[in-house]
């Protein structure tokens, strides 16, 4: 997989027929007609194809499939959304009605203060909305963050402070630490350190238990 098409990258495709794999649920075509974007998911890659997920209007409407690299028209990473400050172009009334979007300036300040200003970005419904321009997040949406970390060991000293700062924000924040070996939820990593235990590492081959 090309570096720019790493996990969590949002891809713009043309039509549902460009997707490969199993028969598509009926809602997929409607969803892509509304917002022709998919997200790179975590699994073992195939030659010339990218593993992606399609999201529908409902929470339970999620579909795992594949798209050929040549059928990708545009891509944007969560980190690129931050570099663009994409939320600043969202209609002010709409932005203020969605806490997970309204808080992004504050989140940017927190990540800058903790030394992660260039390596974080919004995922989930907020990232999807900022990339596609289609209203996706709701007033009850959590804010999913993706934070790229070179090595978990080097991140450990500041993990608790960052988690504490994010927990004080006026919206629930789920932060995922992405490394070259896999990903771990920030709160689980902090808990593992406090308790001297293990944590779940999400890898392309599936979840595995990792120990400190």
Report the catalytic residues. 142, 144
> Do 89 and 108 meet the contact criterion of CB atoms below 8 Å apart?
no
Kindly tell me the number of DSSP H helices and DSSP E strands found in the chain.
Answer: 8, 12
> Do 180 and 204 meet the contact criterion of CB atoms below 8 Å apart?
no
- DSSP letters along 145-177, please? EEEE-S-HHHHHHHHHHHHHHHHTSSS-EEEEE
CA distances (Å), 83 to each of 67, 86, 87, 108, 133, in order? Answer: 26, 8, 11, 10, 16
Q: Which residues contact 155 (CB under 8 A, 6 or more apart)?
A: 149, 177
Q: Which residues contact 172 (CB under 8 A, 6 or more apart)?
A: 142, 143
């Amino acid at each position: 997989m090309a570096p720019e098409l790493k996990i969590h990258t949002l891809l713009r495709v043309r039509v549902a027929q460009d997707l490969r794999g199993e028969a598509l649920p009926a809602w997929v075509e409607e969803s892509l007609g509304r917002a022709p974007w998919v997200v790179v998911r975590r699994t073992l890659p195939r030659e010339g194809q990218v593993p992606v997920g399609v999201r529908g209007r409902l929470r339970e409407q999620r579909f795992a499939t594949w798209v050929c690299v040549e059928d990708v028209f545009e891509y944007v990473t969560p980190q690129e959304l931050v570099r663009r400050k994409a939320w600043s172009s969202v209609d002010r009334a709409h932005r203020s009605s969605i806490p997970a979007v309204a808080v992004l300036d504050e989140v940017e300040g927190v990540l800058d203060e903790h030394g992660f200003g260039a390596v974080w970005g919004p995922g989930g419904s907020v990232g999807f909305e900022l990339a596609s321009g289609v209203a996706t997040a709701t007033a009850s949406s959590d804010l999913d963050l993706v934070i790229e970390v070179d090595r978990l060991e080097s991140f450990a000293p500041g993990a608790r402070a960052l988690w504490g700062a994010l927990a004080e924000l006026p919206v629930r924040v789920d932060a995922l630490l992405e490394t070259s070996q896999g990903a771990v939820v920030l709160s689980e990593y902090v808990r593992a350190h406090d308790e001297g235990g293990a944590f779940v590492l999400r890898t392309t081959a599936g979840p595995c238990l990792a120990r400190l």
